[in-house]
Amino acid sequence: MGAIILILIVSFAVLLLMNAPIAIAIAGSSLLAILANGGDAGYTVAQRMANGIDSFPLLAIPFFIFSGYLMGRGGLARRLIDFASVLVGRLPGGLGYVNTFTCMLFGSISGSAAAAVSSVGGFMIPEMNRKGYNREFNVAVTATAATTGLLIPPSNCMIVYSVAAGSVSIAAMFMAGILPGILVGLAIMIVAGIIAIRNGYGKIDVDAIATTKTEQRVHPLMVCWSAVPSLLLIIIIIGGILKGVFTATEAAAVAVAYAFILSVLIYREIPWRELPDICLQTGLTTAVVMLLIGASSAMSWIMTVANIPQTVSNALLGLSENPYIVLLTINAMLLVVGTFMDMTPALLIFTPILLPVANKLGISDIHFGIIMIANLCIGLCTPPVGTCLFIGCGVGKTTIAKVTRHALPFFVGMIIALMLITYIPWFSTVIPRMCGLIK
């Protein structure tokens, strides 16, 4: 079994160094490991990939992706920006707060960090540039703040974790992520505020942002009122799940219908002729996600055959029986994993390995899931594979090297929030307990 583990790790690392797509690296290394085990590699990998995506809860992912595209193009992001500017836009360095708060709102509605970076960043980064904020600082704020939407429900990665964990309630995961998501957002806001005040950013930013000169004369209450239909989506989704009106998968379909009505029929910012292109983009993104899930399922299977979960569990528990030390070790390991692996395969591969360790330490499945997601969110904005960082640099027309230096203080803030989430379970469990989803 040692040879299988070595082949799996070495081949995966080599494929990554060859710049192979992450899904190909995962599937290819799994194929080689199964060959070394003497099995029918082609048939086994294909079977495990098919079984990996044969899950009803995963049907929610394409619906949430579709609703995210509709919201991004349908004017919802702009209305949320105006709403956030009314609340926090007048504070010193206010555009940093507006950017973060809007990413939290939009990410929670769309369930996608990448959509938040492109939709919110597409307006906020140029606006912050125009108001005298540093370009790389603006990209760093957007890239890090966008990840909060993966903690605040609804969230695709929570669905993936629930599937990987086996018996974890998606509704409980949704509720568990609310306070941790807000905590990470506040940490980013504090860092942004300190940097903005120290560098004198936003001194001329005395008026709330608006997208047109006409909107600048609109009363703040009217700006807030225009954002109400967008914000209602969160209430409809979460309320419907908690009341048992629909499941998480059905809630994703409701999100599509609601986003369609707002974007196409009420706001009329998406012409009918653009819908086929949005459907195509949804299909392409869904295909990538499902390929990652399928490939990760194959790797997870061969790792189980090689007894890796038991080996890792014994190693971690042999290191220390102190939960604080073990959790610190797990966090350090996941921070490294997040730098070179996307969140979806990381959750699918490492949840079966690390969750038994957490359970032996008395940590609940819900709390550990939030720890993993909060941890891996940091990897989305760190090089070399940070999706949010890449998209943000593209929108901001700058380089990763320049942005990374400005993003370091935000990483520190996110890690501090991660430590609070890790060692204070109350943040993750209080709302699910109040809702009767956990004991």
| Amino acid occupying residue 218 | V
202: confidence class by pLDDT, cuts 50, 70, 90: low
What does the DSSP 8-state code read for residue 261? I
* DSSP H or E run through 350: helix 343-360
What per-residue confidence (pLDDT) applies to 188? Answer: 95
Q: Sign of torsion, CA 206 129 338 118?
A: positive
Q: Is residue 113 part of a domain?
A: yes
Instruction: Please give the average per-residue pLDDT across 426-435, as a whole number.
Output: 93
Distance, CA of 124 to CA of 120 (rounded, Å)? 6
Count up the domains in the chain and report the number. 1
Provide mean pLDDT across the span 207-226. Answer: 58
Inside any domain, residue 201: yes
Q: Is the pLDDT of residue 289 over 60?
A: yes
End-to-end, the C-alpha distance of the chain in Å comes to: 40
Mean pLDDT for 264-282 is 90
CA atoms within 13 A on the CB side of 346: 25
- Cα angle, residue 233 at apex, residues 243 and 281 outer, rounded to 5°: 120
Does residue 104 have a pLDDT over 80? yes
Angle between helices 308-319 and 343-360 (to 10 degrees): 60
What's the confidence (pLDDT) of residue 210? 47
pLDDT at 44 over 70: yes
The answer to whether residue 208 scores a pLDDT higher than 50 is no
Range of the domain at 311: 2-434
Considering the domain boundaries, does residue 278 fall inside one?
yes
The answer to whether residue 100 sits within a structural domain is: yes
Give the rounded percent of residues in the chain with a pLDDT score beyond 90: 29
Is residue 352 reached through a cis peptide bond, with omega within 30 degrees of 0 on the bond before it? no
User: Is the per-residue pLDDT at 66 higher than 70?
Assistant: yes
pLDDT digits (tens, 9 = 90+) for 76-98: 777 888 888 787 767 777 788 88
Element (H, E) at 113: helix 113-130
Which residue's structure tokens are 């990209």?
139
What is the mean pLDDT of the segment spanning 147-155? Answer: 89
Span 130-140, pLDDT tens digits: 888 889 999 99
Cβ atoms of 284 and 43 closer than 8 Å: no
Backbone phi and psi for residue 54, each to the nearest 5 degrees, phi listed first:
-85, 70
Query: What is the pTM (predicted TM-score) of this model?
Result: 0.88
Tokens of 86: 């009314």
Residue 185 confidence class, pLDDT cut points 50, 70, 90 = very high
State the DSSP string of 291-311. HHHHHHHHHHHHHHHTTHHHH
The CA-based angle 428-378-129, given to 5 degrees, is 115
How does pLDDT run across 329-365, given as a tens digit for each residue? Answer: 999 999 999 888 888 899 988 999 999 999 998 999 9
In a domain, 439, yes or no: no
User: Does the pLDDT at position 191 exceed 60?
Assistant: yes
State yes or no: pLDDT of 207 exceeds 60. Answer: no
pLDDT, residue 65, reads 86
372 inside domain: yes
pLDDT classification of 162: cutoffs 50, 70, 90: very high
- pLDDT value of residue 1: 58
Average pLDDT, whole number, for the chain?
Answer: 86
Which residues touch 306 (CB under 8 Å, ≥6 apart)? 1, 4, 5, 8, 33, 37
| pLDDT for position 217 | 53
> Taking 90 as the threshold, does the pLDDT of residue 102 lie above it?
no
- Is residue 167 a part of any domain in this protein? yes
